[in-house]
Structure 1
Amino acid sequence: MKPSFEIKHNLLTLPKEKETDVYHKELNLISWYGKEEKLDIRGWSDDHEKMTKGISLTEDEFIKIARAGLKELGGK
């Protein structure tokens, strides 16, 4: 079964690590199967037809993870 999703807003697109890579990483606000929008991090093909496994987070979950990462990295 092909997943049903709607990318509501692209927040960040990272370049492919190598020119030969099929996927690039994106941070998007996505609605999966018509449900509430979540922040989503995963790899996407240029046409958004294929994707890698990723993670979808609520805003609160995303903020907690981002704060923990910044704390660990010394606020960099």
Structure 2
Amino acid sequence: MAQKFSFEIKEELLVLSQNAKGWQKELNLVSWNGNPPKFDLRDWSPEHEKMGKGITLSNEEMKKLTDFLKESEFM
């Protein structure tokens, strides 16, 4: 039995890419099940009615990630 959940995109921050079918890899602030919004990175269909697998990050996790990227040799 599939679990029901709710989401609300509070703020669309960045589109990283788009495929031929119009799906976009996006970084957004999303509230899941009425909880405080988190940074969310995943693929979305054009009207945000369907989504792919993704990850969510708290403010602290996003700060650690951005600090790492700023200090790393990857950039």
Percent identity reads 44
Counterpart residue type for residue 15 of structure 1? S
**Equivalence map 1:12-27=2 (5 Å):** 12-16=14-18, 18=19, 20-27=20-27
Question: What value does the CA root-mean-square deviation take over the aligned residues?
Answer: 1.7
Deviations 1:12-47 (A, max 9, x none): 11231x4x2452111111100001111111110011
Q: Which consecutive residues of structure 1, in runs of 5 or more, have no partner in the other structure?
A: none
Report the Cα distance in structure 2 between the residues aligned to 1:73 and 1:26, rounded to whole angstroms. Answer: 24
Size of the alignment, in residue pairs? Answer: 73
**Equivalence map 1:36-75=2 (5 Å):** 36-73=36-73
Higher strand share: 2
Tell me how far 1:66 sits from its aligned partner.
1.5
Answering whether residue 12 of structure 2 is matched by residue 10 of structure 1, we say yes
In the TM superposition, structure 1's runs of 4+ consecutive aligned residues that sit over 6 Å from their partners are none
Counterpart residue type for residue 10 of structure 1? E
